[in-house]
């Protein structure tokens, strides 16, 4: 994934017309969990954990960012903040610039935990930039996906953040595509979130350059089954979440998470590494299944081969995706 620091906007855009000063908008973007086991770089699920960004256009000529919540102390406070740089690049893409920007970000999504924090920041910036444009110049949903995925480098997190529910994404040439799939209402995501972060780049570096046809065929079948299980038949979630492409290779970078994953799957839970990790996602079915998953996680973490402090989050599938509105205050 892209990091939460980005290059500042170029200074060669000062001749562009500005968007109106005095605008005041709010963007709310969900967390996401990509891969879901076998759906490597293609499947992503939106979750009911949200970051919120308030954006005001000013006449100051400067960009300032005030951040609170998860990871706030480590984030830049100028145009290099990923929300700000994504917003500014969206305006530039449309042939506009901001006269000045003030951003207030409230971060709830944990950073570096495989829950799409970078994708959520990018989506927040892209949607905010688009909302600041005059109505006749705003990008449609397809172009918003293209631009957000271009910034991120792939669509598997930005697509569910934009659309909600389950997103199936693919790349064709230089174009990104995604389709939204409704998720069965009985499915309850339960996440075990460790206190240690892991960069996507570090996890991806452990992947081999090629895999066997046998592994590829196994994953293709499970990924297809997973779409069916998520949408229509949750009883198949356990076999559908079996992965043959990436989780075992990445295990050395997150041994406590890999140990927790093995323990949960040995107990029959449909558990996967969330995104690049190190959080562990369990797709539980019904309230009783969610309680059982929570109990199982708490019994396994924090001792032995799963040291550290873990948070257990029972969430829901975010059905609607990111939202943009005028600030009311």
Which residues are known binding-site members for ATP? 110-120
* Residue 106 vs residues 24, 246, 278, 294: alpha-carbon distances, Å: 16, 32, 22, 27
Contact indicator for 254, 204 with CB cutoff of 8 Å: no
What Cα–Cα distance (Å) separates residue 97 from each residue in 17, 62, 91, 300, 324? 6, 11, 5, 51, 19
Please tell me the distance from the alpha carbon of residue 234 to that of residue 187, in angstroms, as a whole number: 7
CB atoms within 10 A of CB 326: 10
Q: Are strands 39-57 and 101-107 parallel, antiparallel or unpaired?
A: antiparallel
Q: What is the DSSP string of 289-308?
A: HHHHHHHHHHHHSSBTTB-S
Residue ranges of the annotated binding site are 110-120
- Beta bridge partner(s), residue 273: 280
Q: φ and ψ at 317, to 5 degrees?
A: -80, 125
Question: Is beta strand 175-181 parallel, antiparallel or unpaired with respect to 101-107?
Answer: unpaired
The owner of tokens 């901001």 is: 98
Q: What is the DSSP string of 181-203?
A: E---TTEEEEEEEESS---HHHH
**Torsion over CA of 129, 49, 273 and 117, rounded to 10 degrees?**
30
Question: Could you tell me the two tokens for 84?
Answer: 């700000």
């Amino acid at each position: 994934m892209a990091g939460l620091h980005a290059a500042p906007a170029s200074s060669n855009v000062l001749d562009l017309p500005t968007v109106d000063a005095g605008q005041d908008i709010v963007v709310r973007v969900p967390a996401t969990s990509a891969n879901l086991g076998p759906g490597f770089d293609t499947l992503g699920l939106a979750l009911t954990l949200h970051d919120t960004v308030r954006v005001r256009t000013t006449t100051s000529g400067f960009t300032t960012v005030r951040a609170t919540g998860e990871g706030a102390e480590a984030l830049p406070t100028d145009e290099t903040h990923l929300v700000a740089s994504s917003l500014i690049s969206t305006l530039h893409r449309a042939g506009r610039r901001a006269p000045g920007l003030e951003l207030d970000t409230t971060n709830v999504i944990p950073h570096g935990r495989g829950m799409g924090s970078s994708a959520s920041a990018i989506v927040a910036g892209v949607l905010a930039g688009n909302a600041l444009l005059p109505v006749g110049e705003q990008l449609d949903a397809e172009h918003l996906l293209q631009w957000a995925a271009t910034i991120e480098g792939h669509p598997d997190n930005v697509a569910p953040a934009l659309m909600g529910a389950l997103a199936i994404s693919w790349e064709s040439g230089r174009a990104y595509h995604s389709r939204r799939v409704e998720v069965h209402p009985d499915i309850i995501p339960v996440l075990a979130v460790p206190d240690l972060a892991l960069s996507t780049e570090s996890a991806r570096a452990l992947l081999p350059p090629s895999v066997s046809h046998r592994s590829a065929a196994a994953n293709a079948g499970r990924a297809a089954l997973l779409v069916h299980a998520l949408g229509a038949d949750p009883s198949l979630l356990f076999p559908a979440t079996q992965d043959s492409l990436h989780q075992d290779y990445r295990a050395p970078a997150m041994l406590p998470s890999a140990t927790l994953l093995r323990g949960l799957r040995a107990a029959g839970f449909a558990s996967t590494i969330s995104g690049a990790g190190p959080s562990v996602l369990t797709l539980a079915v019904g309230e009783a299944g969610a309680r059982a998953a929570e109990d199982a996680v708490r019994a396994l973490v924090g001792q032995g081969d799963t040291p550290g402090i873990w948070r257990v989050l029972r969430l829901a599938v975010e059905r609607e995706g990111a939202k943009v509105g005028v600030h009311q205050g």
